[in-house]
Amino acid sequence: MNTYKTHTLFLLWLLLTSLTGFGLYMTWDKGLLQWIVLTDNTRICVVIILAFLLGSGLAGWRSIYLSLQSLYFDQFKRGLRTFNQGQSICNDYLTHCGNTPHESQLMAEVMAEKARGTHQVGWFVTGLMLKLGLLGTVVGFTIMLGSLEGLEQLDISDIKTLMQQMTQGMAVAMNTTLVGLVGSILLSIQLLLLDRHADRLVADTVDFAHRTVKAA
């Protein structure tokens, strides 16, 4: 049984997660992550990080699910076991696909929806992280512009306070944009792997069904 091949997706997700965790540890060890969180008084960075963890958890669960579906498909092809209804999406398609091309196409669409339909939640989280990063940019520049009110009334003693407020606004704008971009890129890589694996599993199943029909 080729378990390494069928569990490649989960191993790739685990590798990406390990590298991401190592990167987070290094930024925490250098104090960069703490600085980003503490300088963001809007707490948008914290929301983005939580969204990334949620999306990564979803990607991890889906990688295990799709890896198991690949294993079930491999076992079905080899005739090693039988499956209950709903246990294997490939088995459901191969045993219940219609006799007409239209029915077979509908069953293939149902299988594809089961294989990658949940990934839309992950892509929504990815887009949400980008939008939160842009929101942080707008809020940061708003803080900077707000600190310039009453500029004509400032004296020398107020310059230091003004500079601190402007620096705080710039930090919010830059940090939220950075965290949103990096988080969305890392999560997009995970979801892209899931989508490609799901598409390949569906394509292999449909191809196997066609070859079986021709052989019969």
Q: State what percent of residues in the chain have pLDDT above 90.
A: 44
Specify the residue for token string 């999306």. 55
What tokens does 173 get?
């704008």
The answer to whether residue 214 sits within a structural domain is no
Q: Residue 4 pLDDT more than 60?
A: no
**Which residue did the predictor score with more confidence, 34 or 101?**
34
* Integer Cα distance of 189 and 120 in angstroms: 14
Give the total number of structural domains in the chain.
Answer: 1
The answer to whether residue 215 sits within a structural domain is no
Residue 2 DSSP class: -
Burial of residue 22 (CB within 10 Å: 0-12, 13-18, 19+) is exposed
Contact 100, 94 (CB under 8 A): no
The answer to whether residue 81 sits within a structural domain is yes
Residue 155 DSSP class: -
The answer to whether residue 194 sits within a structural domain is yes
Q: Residue 2 pLDDT more than 60?
A: no
The answer to whether residue 112 sits within a structural domain is yes
The answer to whether residue 99 sits within a structural domain is yes
Instruction: Compute the CA torsion angle 68, 73, 77, 79 (nearest 10 deg).
Output: 50
The model carries a pTM of 0.85
**Which residue did the predictor score with more confidence, 171 or 187?**
187
Average pLDDT of span 56-79: 90
CA distances from 71 to 4, 61, 88, 151 (A): 10, 15, 9, 68
Domain around 18? 3-209
The answer to whether residue 166 sits within a structural domain is yes
The 10 Å Cβ neighbour count of residue 145 is 11
Q: Residue 87 pLDDT more than 60?
A: yes
The answer to whether residue 216 sits within a structural domain is no
